[in-house]
Structure 1
Amino acid sequence: MLMTTLWNLSTRTFLLLRRTPVNRLLDKIRTRQGLKWGVPAMTLGLVYFLAAAICTTLIDGGWSTWLYLPFLLFAYNGMKLILMGPISLILLARARTREVIAHRREKKFTRV
């Protein structure tokens, strides 16, 4: 009974987190057509870090410590977007290399 409840709770949490806008954006960036948008998405990561900095400033100013929750969320999403920039460049280079190799093979076999 407890294991089933924990399993259902973890599944629902996973599905909830998959539907967040940042994760949807990262899923789109990971496609072949979306790889070129990895570096511009890094600027959105900077906006998330700015929001995290604003949260810490408000906490230092005497606001509620509950602002640590959005701070963690903003910092985590910002890190994901910042890291996706270089990763998307590596994936784009790998995809283009594979396309060039496939094109050369196709060209080689059509000549014969």
Structure 2
Amino acid sequence: MIRQLWTLSVHTRAFLRRYMPTNILLDAIRTRRGLKWGVPAMLLAVPYLLAASTFTTLIADGGPGWLNLLVLLCVWNTMKLVIMGPVSLILLTRIRVREAVAAHAERRTSTEPVKQVV
């Protein structure tokens, strides 16, 4: 039973990562070329917040209860996008520091004179 649940959760995660728009976007941002787009991607959280607010208003005015699931989905996507902005800055800084250290080490070893032992 646990094995079946585990398999189902793995397949569900694979499906969601492959086909859901925010997951595709976040996977693209996590690449080296995409890290610079983390902060602008935070702006995409605004439409999700607007949609969540609209759904909440509809629910308060007597709308169907299943709209709560859409509110939850919109808030979850908003949190993912908002968190990815600072995370992408941290990852980009870390990568650039590593690249700078590697470039400095390469320059130092290529210009250092070779000492001969006599």
TM-score tier by shorter-chain length is over 0.9
Moved over 4 A (4+): none
Q: Rg larger in 1 or in 2?
A: 2
Determine what percentage of the aligned residue pairs are the same residue: 53
Q: Which moved more, 1:61-70 or 1:12-21?
A: 12-21
Partner-residue secondary structure (3-state), 1:105: helix
Residue 73 (structure 2) aligns with: 73
Q: Which has the higher contact order (CA 8 A, sep 6+)?
A: 1
Instruction: Give the Cα separation in 1 of the matches to 2:91 and 2:3.
Output: 38
- Bigger proportion of residues as helix: 1
Instruction: Give the Cα separation in 2 of the matches to 1:103 and 1:8.
Output: 44
Tell me how far 1:43 sits from its aligned partner.
0.4
Residue 16 (structure 2) aligns with: 17
TM-score (norm: length of structure 2) = 0.88
Instruction: Give the Cα separation in 2 of the matches to 1:9 and 1:33.
Output: 33
Residue pair 1:42, 1:82 contacting (<8 A) in 2 also? yes
Residue 116 (structure 2) aligns with: none
Consecutive unaligned residues of structure 2, counting only runs of 5 or more, are 113-118
TM-score (norm: length of structure 1) = 0.93
